[in-house]
Structure 1
Amino acid sequence: PDVSADDLDAGKVGRFFKQVGREVSQEHLETLGVLVPQGGRLVPSHGGLILFGSDAARRRLFPEAEMRCARFRGTDKVEFIDRLDLEGTVLEALDEAPKFIRRNTRLAAKIETMRRQDIPEYPVLALREVLVNAVAHADYSLTGMRLRVAIYADRLEVENPGMLPFGMTLDDFKAGVSRLRNRVIARVLRELGLVEEWGTGYLRITEACREGGYPAPEWEEHGPCLRVVFRPHPEVEAVTHVPADDRMDDTVNDTANETVDVPGNVPGNVPVSVPANTRQEWLLEQLARGQRTKAADVATKFDVTEKTAKRDIADLRERGLIEFVGARKTGHYRLKERS
């Protein structure tokens, strides 16, 4: 393809290497294979374009090299609740996809020895590892297929285009056999500290799940794709008591409600066991301390939309736990006295 050094986004290259305290030079990019000689000049390699290419170059040459995320209502793909097409590079998607997952999954609160422990619905470290592996091993030459994250009521799936390399089986993968499809991408990911030793990913993923009390993920080959399926943490399942198809309402950018104990510093005018999500619990804590917390504060704290925060507040008002006092523009919320 007709490419030039200008098709490489130098700003992106510098930003990602700066995050790991590395200065990057032309020689370094040549060593990694991000730049390769062609016709007496240096041009970006395919891997270099996929990771650091300008938006125009990637859309022209590798339009499938992006990640798409979706949250579905039930256990199939009939109805969306939330979706996000990450049109930046797949490296940028590794930063954004976890945020999408966080705002579309649940937390359980576990209190031990006077300390609260938040348990995410899915294992954060194992998910990160799987996302990195998906970027490293995807077949970006397949048309009409992209990296995908799909969240259902009963599972989370990460899917990358491209089967296992020819002759390699899932048993080989689990035994630590590693065959790289994208050598440039693999080198860069390692240089950026996103992978450790190739061939150890399965072990790290399953060990992270075991240590966190999560079910072991499942690897599946579906046609030209490789899919990893995660199941929710038992503690998160236990606090919902809601059928899988009904766990999420029709709102966007929300997490499911969970039953948690109201913090001890919330006074007696709030019932002891209030069905509340983590954001609502935090809001009750702030109001108990006399803070004039607003929807924007909740949105900023938990990286959700203000619409989601307002919905949390409206729910607490409807249940008679908080009330709004004062004028619309200058008033504030407070805990409602129990009658």
Structure 2
Amino acid sequence: MNLTNMTIKEMCTTTERQLFDRKSAKITATAIAVSMIAFANADGGLLAVGIEDDGEITGIDDYTKNINEILRASFDFCQPSIMIETETIDCIDSSGRENHIILIRVPQSGELHANHRDEVFLRIGDRSKKLTFDERLQLMYAKGARYFENEPVYGSGIDDIDMVAVAEYCDKIGYAKSPEEYIKQNKKFIINVGGRQEMSGAAILLFGKNPQLFFERARVRFIRYEGIEAKVGAAMNVVKDVIFEGRILDLVEAAIEFVRGQIKEHTYLGPDAKFVTEPEYPEFVWKELIVNAIAHRDYSIKGTDIQIKMFDDHFTVESPGMLPGIVRLNNMREIHFSRNPKIAGLLHEYEYVREFGEGVDRMYYEMEQAGLPDPEYRIEAFMVYATIRNKKFLEQQISSTPQDTPQDTPQDTPQDKIWEYCREPKSKHEIMEFFGYKDVKNFTRNYLKPLIQAGKLVMTIPDKPKSKKQKYLAKHEE
């Protein structure tokens, strides 16, 4: 079993980061439990025990009793327990003695973990951050440990529900009873709190007469900028600023209808002498970004709204909340999860929504078919940013690339550049990171496989093509 491809030297010299941390064998079991909890609540990670923070190898052999306590920490001081994997590795310590270090692989968890003091930690960069009460709730909602849409809305009652909207939905799904009965008998829309009845967040957001009375920022804001970046002050370049309010379905329909009118189209004469009209972005893609944001945002975050920002060369949707459940940037094309199942359920009935991530793979395909860059996702401070770019962006990329003199040979293709970079063995991750590729499938299909098939790249472990240690080397003509 190999828990990492890193060498011991790399473990000592690499910067501690989101997925890796060094720990002395002298660390207490309660202290290392904090790191385990932080990793499990985030993206998982690797702990190298027996290496000091400064990279000095002190080993574990002199701390047998403490190591035994460390190995029990995931059971004794993590609630619920975390199922770790361990591996012991031979090493030479800083004193020149034969010694050992122990690697602890902490998996990403779909549960919310706390320590024996009921404190919750989250790995952020190279630190294990202790969460406040509000941050802990947001993490619980993000993981699905609790659903914010099921929480009672203080001061609300059944009089705040628009029964006409409920009736329309009942007709849509073929519910034969009255709208009042649907609200009272289904999905726990009514919650008893201290002897009074309050409506759930889902009931207000889906069927409320005025959802923004209770969720002021549960709205969508569209901002159109002139140019390729937002400017402020005297140079402010906002040309449109529109806010959409109402129930969830209203937000989706109004935002989509408005944005459709903002998408530019390009008409040209096709090869068969017929005019062809192409939008600057595939409709499925920009609609999916908007619907995903409305369906899956974290409505417990009340300080900001969903923002759609349109520039001359790109289109960005900003949605409050972290990625839900165990969805992460590196698995969002395969892992599907709904943060707000009731909201997603209603939008599914109107054929708008899929599980989070279910439409992501198709977005990549649609962008590729249109000859456009892959969608880009990033997360900053409890906000998810999704961006797509149009052909104007590609034109700018070409025009900004330094050009050789007319007498020089044509520019190298991406395959040529990859081949040149692999004069020394490089892993797939190293190649993608160096050239800025983000989509593994697209990179493998369009660049790596063709180079291997053409005999320009060879695998360093040809009998194990899928080995984690696989690297690629440029093959030069004899």
Report the equivalent of 2:220.
Answer: 67
Q: Measure how far apart 1:210 and its partner are.
A: 2.6
1:34 and 1:154 map into 2 onto residues whose CA distance is 45
1:41 and 1:24 map into 2 onto residues whose CA distance is 28
Whether 2:210 is the aligned partner of 1:51: answer no
Show CA shifts across 1:21-65 (max 9, x none). Answer: 74574455567627234268875320121122112xx23311111
Report SS of the residue matched to 2:332. Answer: helix
Whether 2:192 is the aligned partner of 1:38: answer yes
Amino acid at match of 1:145: T
Report the equivalent of 1:188.
Answer: 346
Q: Measure how far apart 1:146 and its partner are.
A: 0.5
1:10 aligned residue (163, 172, 183): 163
Report the equivalent of 1:154.
Answer: 313
Q: Measure how far apart 1:98 and its partner are.
A: 2.4
Report the equivalent of 2:140.
Answer: none
The correspondence of residues 1-339 of structure 1 with structure 2, limited to 5 A, is 1-15=154-168, 20=172, 22-23=174-175, 25=177, 26=179, 28-29=182-183, 33=187, 35-38=189-192, 44-55=199-210, 58-78=211-231, 79-112=237-270, 113-165=272-324, 168-174=327-333, 176-196=334-354, 199-233=357-391
Bigger mean CA deviation after superposition, 225-234 or 41-50: 41-50
- Alpha-carbon RMSD across the aligned residues, in angstroms, is 3.1
1:32 and 1:204 map into 2 onto residues whose CA distance is 33
Amino acid at match of 1:163: M
Show CA shifts across 1:224-272 (max 9, x none). Answer: 11011011146x977xxx99xxxxxxxxxxxxxxxxxxxxxxxxxxxxx
Q: Measure how far apart 1:160 and its partner are.
A: 0.7
Report SS of the residue matched to 1:208. Answer: helix
Show CA shifts across 1:108-153 (max 9, x none). Answer: 0133334333211112111112211111211112122101110012
Q: Measure how far apart 1:187 and its partner are.
A: 1.9
Q: Higher RCO, 1 or 2 (CA under 8 Å, sep at least 6)?
A: 1
Q: Measure how far apart 1:16 and its partner are.
A: 5.3
Amino acid at match of 1:212: A
1:132 and 1:44 map into 2 onto residues whose CA distance is 24
* Pairs aligned (count): 236
2:155 and 2:187 map into 1 onto residues whose CA distance is 18
Could you state the TM-score of these two structures normalised by the residue count of structure 2?
A: 0.44
Tell me if the contact between 2:266 and 2:278 (Cα under 8 Å) persists in the aligned partners.
yes
Q: Measure how far apart 1:197 and its partner are.
A: 5.2
Bigger mean CA deviation after superposition, 20-29 or 182-191: 20-29
1:28 and 1:82 map into 2 onto residues whose CA distance is 40
1:159 and 1:24 map into 2 onto residues whose CA distance is 39
Bigger mean CA deviation after superposition, 108-117 or 144-153: 108-117
Question: How has the CA–CA distance of structure 1 residues 17 and 225 changed in structure 2, closer, same or farther, with 3 Å as cutoff?
Answer: farther
1:150 and 1:60 map into 2 onto residues whose CA distance is 25
Report SS of the residue matched to 1:136. Answer: helix
Question: How has the CA–CA distance of structure 1 residues 42 and 143 changed in structure 2, closer, same or farther, with 3 Å as cutoff?
Answer: closer
Report SS of the residue matched to 2:378. Answer: strand
1:211 and 1:28 map into 2 onto residues whose CA distance is 44
Tell me if the contact between 2:228 and 2:311 (Cα under 8 Å) persists in the aligned partners.
yes
Report SS of the residue matched to 1:172. Answer: coil
2:295 and 2:347 map into 1 onto residues whose CA distance is 8
Unaligned runs of 5+ in 2: 1-153, 232-236, 401-478
Could you state the TM-score of these two structures normalised by the residue count of structure 1?
A: 0.61
Question: How has the CA–CA distance of structure 1 residues 43 and 75 changed in structure 2, closer, same or farther, with 3 Å as cutoff?
Answer: same
1:155 and 1:182 map into 2 onto residues whose CA distance is 28
Q: Measure how far apart 1:205 and its partner are.
A: 1.8
Report SS of the residue matched to 2:312. Answer: coil
Unaligned runs of 5+ in 1: 244-339
Bigger mean CA deviation after superposition, 163-172 or 34-43: 34-43
1:17 and 1:138 map into 2 onto residues whose CA distance is 25
1:117 and 1:16 map into 2 onto residues whose CA distance is 39
Tell me if the contact between 1:34 and 1:184 (Cα under 8 Å) persists in the aligned partners.
no
Q: Measure how far apart 1:70 and its partner are.
A: 0.8
2:252 and 2:218 map into 1 onto residues whose CA distance is 13
Bigger mean CA deviation after superposition, 64-73 or 134-143: 134-143
Identity %: 26
Tell me if the contact between 1:32 and 1:187 (Cα under 8 Å) persists in the aligned partners.
no
Q: Measure how far apart 1:167 and its partner are.
A: 5.5
Tell me if the contact between 1:33 and 1:45 (Cα under 8 Å) persists in the aligned partners.
no
